[in-house]
Amino acid sequence: MKNFRVQPCDRLQGTVRVPGDKSIGHRSLIFASLAEGRSHITGLSGGLDNLATAEAFGAMGVEIELGSNEAWVDGVGLRGLRLPERSIDCGNSGTTMRLLAGLLSAQRFGLRLSGDESLSRRPMGRVVTPLRARGAHIKGVSGAKEGEHYPPLSIAPLVEGESLIGLEYEMPIASAQVKSSLLLSGLYASGPTAIQEPVISRDHTERMMLALKVPLQTLGAMCVLDPAGWDGRWDPFSWAVPGDISSAAFLLAAVQLVPGSEILAQGVGVNPTRTGLLDLVRIMGARQGVIPKGDGAGDEPTADLEFTHQSIRGGQVGGELLVRMIDEVPALCALAAGCSERVEIHDAQELRVKESDRLSAMANVLSEFGIPCREKPDGLIIEGGRPLRAARVNSLGDHRVAMAATVLALRADDESVIEDVGCVDTSFPGFAEVLGSLGAQIEVEEAP
């Protein structure tokens, strides 16, 4: 097990590049694998989650050559995937499992999608139920909640004469993973796929489909994929994955916690469905610069982000704004410790079924660092403006909890220890080294 030993920090300053956006990386690998010809993807995160997706397609006959944060993918087309020799291990990646569940439900071969201990506790009914409604033969296993489906997921093949049918689905909760799973299954369906979300979730899949001329129409929180008359093909491509705004969020939090800090994060994705945290902290009084840098993979907007320390107020977040920053909530929790007023988080019950129960985990982390925090069923109430005391906390194997705790430790009154930080490589390989290049003192230790 790896731990971080973190010393208090006087100032953070410098220019960095964060790892590639793993959400965009997953989808780039999927669409490259289904293209007809060789695609080149640069800017991949190098993290374990994207590797799980690449290895899954490799097991199904797609030739993928991985380099340093890049991949050359020899796509096999929509109907070219082959039966793997064994079950597909999705590791810790819920995105890999949910997106593949949709794609593989349309194949003529059956298989099983498994994952690590953490992923095996995450509910999958939200994709299983609508996929079954369109004719997929998919099921999970029983678990903590009665009637829910948990990994591993078993998918039986569609037999000769069977195909997935059209689907009209009104999603009870906005979810880019569920939406993407249904759209991927819709590539093979005999009729249209119409999806309505309560509010729009991240739209990386839609942007890529439109860039590849897949017959998709979007209007706000609704999208319709109608394959009628489409030849089911797209050309290979060369895409650059932008930097991950979820990773950059921890740098923003660190800047707001450590007075005098200034950081420039280069080439970060600023898709409007992902910039909720930037919008929130601007309302709270933070100083930030956004310098547009053109488009990345699948017409994703990118920018250089300038973060400068500023005393900021508290505030409330929920609803549509919360959806646009759901992965950044742990970073917000760390940032909230430096606010002069209370921060209230609502409508975040989805965070209870991530790699950990992130609401409970962050409430515990904040309390250990001396920040009063009250947990609610759907959120947290955080009282900022208090001095932080040194703490020893465990990440619970959750990469975002580990990074949030590390950022909090930068402002503590003495050395802090963050336990079980190997999970950080899931999304931000080199996290400690990046902070070190900016002035932080973080020792990585191997613990028994």
Q: Which listed residue (203, 244, 327, 398) is catalytic?
A: 327
Question: Are 151 and 219 in the same domain?
Answer: yes
**End position of a domain, from candidates 187, 209, 240:** 240
Residue from 196, 197, 228, 198 nearest 215 by CA: 228
Classify 258 as helix, strand or coil: coil
Pair 10, 47 in one domain: no
270 with 350, same domain: the answer is yes
Helix (H) or strand (E) holding 150: strand 150-156
The answer to whether residues 327 and 274 belong to one domain is yes
State the pLDDT at residue 287: 84
How high is the pLDDT of residue 4? Answer: 98
Cα–Cα dist 127/105, whole Å: 11
Residue 279 is a catalytic residue: no
Helices (H), 125-187: 125-133, 176-186
Total of domains in the chain:
2
Select from 240, 255, 271 the last residue of a domain. Answer: 240
CB atoms closer than 10 angstroms to residue 413 = 12
pLDDT at residue 448 is higher than 80: no
Of residues 398, 342, 330, the one with CA closest to residue 366: 330
pTM of the model: 0.95
Query: 152-175: per-residue pLDDT in tens?
Result: 999 999 999 999 999 999 999 999
Same-domain status, 379 and 400: yes
Q: Is the same domain home to 60 and 119?
A: yes
Give the C-alpha separation, 378 to 346, whole Å: 6
Give yes or no: residues 201 and 272 share one domain: no
Q: Same domain for 250 and 146?
A: no
Q: Can you tell me whether residue 152 is helix, strand or coil?
A: strand
Residue 149 belongs to what domain range? 22-240
Q: How many CB atoms lie within 10 A of CB 199?
A: 16
Token pair 């994929």 is at which residue?
Answer: 225
Structure tokens at 186: 């819709």
DSSP 194-226: EEE-SS----HHHHHHHHTT-SEEEETTEEEE-
| Residue-wise pLDDT tens digits, 46-94 | 999 999 999 999 999 999 999 989 999 999 999 999 999 999 999 999 9
- Report, as an integer, the average pLDDT of 374-400: 96
Q: Are residues 393 and 323 in the same domain?
A: yes
- Same domain for 154 and 273, yes or no, is no
Characterize the bridge pairing of strands 167-170 and 137-141.
unpaired
Which residue is associated with the tokens 């005999």? 190
- CA atoms of 441 and 415, how far apart (whole Å): 10
> In the structure encoding, which two tokens stand for residue 3, read together?
């731990």
Report the amino acid identity of residue 103: L
pLDDT 10s digits, 306-362: 999 999 999 999 999 999 999 999 999 999 999 999 999 999 999 998 999 999 999
CATH code where residue 154 lies: 3.65.10.10
